[in-house]
Every structure is written in structure tokens, then in C-alpha cells.
Homo-oligomer: A and B are copies of this chain.
Amino acid sequence: MSEQAARRRARSGGGAARRAMRSARGVETAPVITRRIPDLEILDEEALEIIEANAETVLEEIGVAFVDNPGALARWREAGADVRGERVHIPRGLARKLCATAPSSFTQHARNPARSVEIGGRNLVLAPVYGPPFVRDLAGGRRYATLEDFRNFVKLGQMSRWLHHSGGTLCEPTDVPVSKRHLDMLLAHMTLSDKPFMGSVTEPDRARDSVAMAEILFGREFVAENPVMVSLININSPLTFDSTMMGALEVYAAAGQGCIISPFIVGGAMAPVSVAGTLTQVLAEVLAGVAYSQLVRPGAPVIFGAFVTSIDMNSGAPTFGTPEAAQITYGAGQLARRLGLPYRSAGAFTGSKLPDAQAGYESANSLNAGLLAGVNFMLHACGWLEGGLVASYEKFVMDADQLGVLHRLAAGVAVDEAAQAMDAIREVGPGGHYLGCAHTQAHFKEAFWRSELLDYKPFETWAEEGARDTQALAAARVAKLLAEYERPAIDPGIEEALKDFVARRKAELPDAFA
């Protein structure tokens, strides 16, 4: 039955889209950002060439470690690398040559075709926070995340106009055994949202479960031919590729599913305390990881990832929204474009414990850098708090609102006759007022981006209404969105098959909480 439903689904593009549109009343998601403004390029040609040459030196001379993974070592040996123990020395130019089969852009399909996203080129796809074990909200404070929290964040993502993607591990549902929670997370993404989502990477078997569930949702043939997931493969920086992450990569690449191949770097700890040195290591690691994905399956869709922050040398804590992180975000974007790969970086990063001014400054610094650095896929675009330890309900809707700023800024400046507004300037003249003029009447509705959250009221009104700060306004918006949430329609046969799969796998798997 699940096969039957899946086949029906795979053939039913138009109908599914129409059903999704009908079901999605009250939730209008913006198309992915297509930049009509230039990228900021902070490295000159000479600097880029130095970094690229040094990365090749790192790969050849120092090499990278593929740990507990004889299959990977065999692939590398066959490709012409010099493998000594678990250390893979990659001759100059080989990794870059292997990367050439990776597509420069690809479509990740959503079950609602209107919400499929093209990742690459001038596009920017926005996805929510990934990975926190804790959640925080104004009423309940900081606490371990549960499956109910996870489902709430899927719902908030579905309700967010400027968010294109449902993400992956929005928070860790710590009330479900670690061996089973990937099933509940996938089921939530697949049934509570119709936006694209990410697969599990914490064990190769969980990646296989992800593919199996995607096949139920999209149909086996469709999944065989189209990316329907993008999953996060972290590199164990410096220069180490562990067998868990590589195992997941192998599953996804072989299945033609998308992967972000991403060094995870706290600068000063996992990379040198310099921007150029860190960029060198990032490039070497991504070259090796992407090359490996292409050894598994040439043409597998991958994304050049860079999660980079720096360490506070006084406390040892990672810091966010800093200028060095921005410089690395800009520089890695240039390196990714020269490689012809889609680029993942940035996010609404902050080290703050609360959704306060620090969170606002740091997140805006990072979001702006991400837009101008040419990022194509931005994970953690909303909800991130406390260095990624916490998914914040209030910050989720605050950040998600600010993502509207990026959309508008990226659209560039129109200079058609209406935008030139010469008739308005003539009509109003020196000392006049534009509020009532014909041009304003015709265009004011779409003229300016408007926050759906922030306070624009006169002081007196604001004071009468309780002098609420952004966190309090956001808490009210969270409650409103969750109350207004409606599940997007899904084929009952497919939903049943997904639930059956989850139940069967849960019965098979042992309980494990670590």
C-alpha cells in the first residue's frame, strides 16, 4: 500500500501542488531569495591564489584522515591518492579535479512543488536552527527540548513567510531515545510542514531510514532521480573525516541526495588564529570532502559548507557575530564560487543567553554578512541562541521576521519610470508633502518592507500596552502563530505508510539515550 501511495504521489505533481495551495491558507511563503545585488568580495586575486595554493599544499603534504573507513581509503587509493595508514595525501589538483563533477546548482524538491528550492547561483535558501539540546521561552525558561518542542518549531517554520526550508534537527527531542528520535523528527517534517527538509546523519542506518521515509513520501522513482533531502555532514576539523559522518554521506551521495560538506570550526581551537589560515584549512577540508562525495557517486549534489566562529581567548567560549567570522564568511564565499559549488554559511548566530540586544546585534551582523557573502543555503537562519545550545521560541520568530529584510535588500533597486517618481517630485514641489500625492497612493502598500513583529507604535500607545520589549512581543507572536497553525494536507495513504514505517522501525531498534 505504501508503494502504491508513493507511486500515486510521484505521478501527481500538479494535483499535489493544488492541494497544498488550498491547504496553505494564511501561510504565504516567499520564493527563495534571488540576489540582484553584487557580492562583497574582500579578498583580492592574489590572496585567493595564495589560499588556494596553500590548501593544495595541505592536502598533498599533510593530508587528511579518513578514520575507521577502509572503503574510503580504497576509493582514494584508486583515485590516485597516496594513502599511508588512515592518512590520505591528495596530489595537487586531484581534489579540485574530482570536485568538477559536482553540480553548481540543484533543486531540492518539497512535497509541495511550489516550495521546492533551487540551491546555487544567485539564490539564497533560508533554513532554521539545527541541533540544540535545550529550548527556551519567556514563560518556561531554559529546559531540555522534547518532541513537543520539536513539533512546535516545525509548525513555526511552516508559518514563517520568509523561511524556505523546514530544516533538520530543530532541537533534540531528548524525551525520545537517541536511537529512535530521527524517525519522529522526519515524520514531523514530512507531515506538519510541506517545505523541504533535511535527513538524519547521526548513523548511516538513520540516513537509510531517512531515504526510506522519503521514498514513501515522494515515491521511490522520484527519489532515485531527484534530491528531496539536503543533510548536514560535518567535518571533524582539523582535517579529519570520521566514519559516522562519512557513512551518512556515503548513503546520501549514493542515493543522489544532497549534502552540505561543512568544516565545523571554532577558530583558535580547530583552526589557526588567523582568517587566512582558517580559510586555507576550510578550503582543504571542503575540497577533500566534496571530492570524496564525487568518488562515491559522480554528480552527487553537494554544498560547500563553512561553519566558522572564533574563540574568546579569555574564557575559551565560542563567540558569534564577530568581524573575523564575517571575514571568513565573505572569503569562503569567494572560494566556493571559484570552485563552482553552492555555498552554505552564516545564520542568526549569537552567544547571548537571552533574546536581548546582544542577540540582535550579533545575529544581524551574521545575517547581513551571509546575504552579502553570496551564501546559497543558510542553516540556523532563525531560532539560534546561546551558541547553539538553545533553540529559542521567541528568537525564532524575531529572526524569521528579520529574514524579510534580507529578501528586500537582495531585490535591488528598481529604476523604471514608476520608481523614478519624477511626477511625484513635480506634483509635490518644494515644501510640500508626499503622503497624499498620486504616486504615494498608487505605491505605498508595497513600497516598504514592514516588520510583523517589531514595535513601530507611538511611545504613549506602547507604554499603555505594557511597555513590552522585543522578547515579550515575540512571545505573543509565537502563541498567535501556533494557535493559527494548520497542517498542510497530505495523502492519508502516505501518512499512514509513514506512521507504519516509524512504528515498525521503533519496534526493531533498541532504546538508547546516548
- A residues adjacent to B (C-beta < 8 A): 37-38, 40-43, 46-47, 50-51, 54, 57-58, 61-65, 87, 142, 236, 238-240, 267-281, 310-315, 317, 319, 321-324, 326-327, 331, 351-365, 368-369, 372, 386, 389, 395, 398, 402, 405-409, 412-415, 418-422, 424-426, 428-435, 437, 439-440, 443-445, 447-451, 454-459, 462-463, 467, 469-471, 474
Contact = CB atoms under 8 A, between A and B. Distances in A.
A449 B324 CA distance: 7
A362 B409 CA distance: 14
A353 B459 CA distance: 7
Contact of A429 (B239, B271, B323, B352): B239
A370 to B, nearest CB: 11
A457 B315 contact: yes
Contacts of A279: 413
Contacts of A364: 321, 360-365, 368
Contact of A239 (B37, B331, B358, B430): B430
B236 A431 contact: yes
Contacts of A406: 323
A271 B437 CA distance: 11
B353 A467 contact: yes
Contacts of A280: 420-422, 425
Contact of A312 (B57, B270, B354, B450): B450
A470 B61 CA distance: 47
Contacts of A432: 238
Given A280-B421, A420-B276, A352 B312 contact: no
A359 B360 contact: yes
B323 A408 contact: yes
15 contacts: A38-B40, A38-B41, A42-B412, A65-B431, A142-B459, A238-B432, A268-B440, A274-B419, A276-B415, A276-B420, A313-B450, A351-B455, A357-B398, A359-B360, A368-B368
A457 B273 contact: no
A312 B272 contact: no
Contacts of A276: 413-415, 419-421
A58 B513 CA distance: 71
Best-buried of A326, A331, A395, A431 by chain B (most CB within 10 Å): A431
B275 A413 contact: yes
The CB with the most chain B CB atoms within 10 A, among A47, A57, A63, A419, is that of A419
B356 A440 contact: no
A285 to B, nearest CB: 10
A458 B273 contact: no
Nearest to A462: B353
Contacts of A409: 323, 326-327
Contacts of A58: 422, 425
A431 B238 contact: yes
A422 B279 CA distance: 11
A42 B238 CA distance: 37
